[in-house]
Amino acid sequence: MNSSTIIKFMAGLLPVAPITGELLDEELQQAEVSETEAESEDQADSKYADYEGPTMEEEIAAHSGNVPAIKGTGGYNVQVGDDFDPLAGVYAVDNTDGNITGNIEVTSNNVNTNQPGTYNVSYRVENSRGAYYEYTRVIEVSNAASDPVPMIPPTEAQLSGDTEESGSSEDDASSSSAITFLGLEDVTIPQGSEFNPKEDVAIIDVDGSDITHRTHISGEVDTDTPGEYTIAYAVFDHFGDPHAKARTITVE
């Protein structure tokens, strides 16, 4: 997938704050970096060919009870100085709602990867019926090499390679079934208030991993001037396909 495609999606989603030539160049450079990262992840995904564990569908079918479960939260060692993503390799299943990885909240995280020691990360997930599950895992920071990130079980479609093509049009990019955009509701804010386009926003990949940090955000909101503003969010999934969605911010 050409990295410029994601720029076209974003431009098409920004009727109020069109992307300038200078911004296009900057976003294109960032998109090319993300595309390279996505290609690296695609290479890692080739291990699905030899995968012998349960699929996501089998994990869901094996779960019983009215309370969801959080998985992939075993003890974990991080080497001093390495990055640590508390949601990497973590997923959640429910016997009614299925894969609810996108519902996972990190309720506390005191991990300091610059200082050796024992730390805790707490998680919470809730299903559509209001039942919830909470769990606290132990994270060790030491001079030993970081543990490999556990693999989130692939879906049957991922194993068969029969994944739906996405990113072929603006409509596909705006309403993708492959990834989940969270916190992109249209909002109205009072004139003169502060607005952070990243606040409460999360983007979850098809494998349940949080890819919010790879998101390109375009558009500006002038909180001193009443009006409607459009902010576009775009990201490459781990198959290298782009997805985008826009929201309207009204200043009054």
What average pLDDT does range 164-171 have in this prediction?
A: 38
Given a contact cutoff of 8 angstroms between Cβ atoms, the answer to whether 194 and 167 are in contact is no
Lowest mean pLDDT among 49-53, 103-107, 112-116, 129-133: 49-53
Per-residue pLDDT at 46? 55
Are residues 58 and 41 part of one domain? Answer: no
Residue 154 inside a domain? The answer is: no
Kindly tell me if the per-residue pLDDT of 2 is higher than 70.
no
Q: What is the pLDDT of residue 166?
A: 38
pLDDT at site 8: 52
pLDDT of residue 152: 86
Q: What is the pLDDT of residue 19?
A: 40
Q: Tally the C-alpha atoms within 13 A of residue 177's C-alpha that lie toward its C-beta.
A: 4
Asked if residue 175 and residue 99 are part of one domain, the reply reads no
Contact 14, 178 (CB under 8 A): no
pLDDT tens per residue across span 42-76: 444 455 667 778 888 999 999 988 899 999 999 99
In a shared domain, residues 87 and 63: yes
Is residue 148 in a domain?
no
Higher pLDDT, 46 or 250: 250
Q: Mark whether 163 and 237 lie in a shared domain.
A: yes
Report yes or no on 172 lying in a domain. yes
Query: In the predicted model, is pLDDT for residue 21 greater than 50?
Result: no
Host domain of residue 114: 52-142
Pairing mode, if any, of strands 242-251 and 187-189?
parallel
- Per mean pLDDT, which range of 30-44, 107-121, 177-191, 205-219 is the poorest? 30-44
How many whole angstroms separate alpha carbon 106 and alpha carbon 122? 6
Average pLDDT, the chain: 78
pLDDT tens digits along 87-97? 988 999 998 88
What is the pLDDT, as a whole number, of residue 16? 41
Is pLDDT at 147 greater than 90 in this prediction?
yes
Q: What is the CA radius of gyration of the chain?
A: 20
Residue 100 domain-assigned (yes or no): yes
| Cβ pair 69, 132 in contact under 8 A | no
Q: What is the pLDDT of residue 172?
A: 36
Q: With a cut of 80, say whether residue 246 has pLDDT above it.
A: yes
Assess whether pLDDT exceeds 70 at residue 15.
Answer: no
Same domain for 25 and 9: yes
- pLDDT of 10 above 90: no
CATH number at residue 229: 2.60.40.10
Q: In this predicted structure, what is the pLDDT of residue 239?
A: 65
The domain tally of the chain equals 2
Other CB atoms within 10 A of residue 139 CB:
21
Say whether both 21 and 57 belong to one domain.
no
> Over pLDDT 70: what percentage of the chain?
72
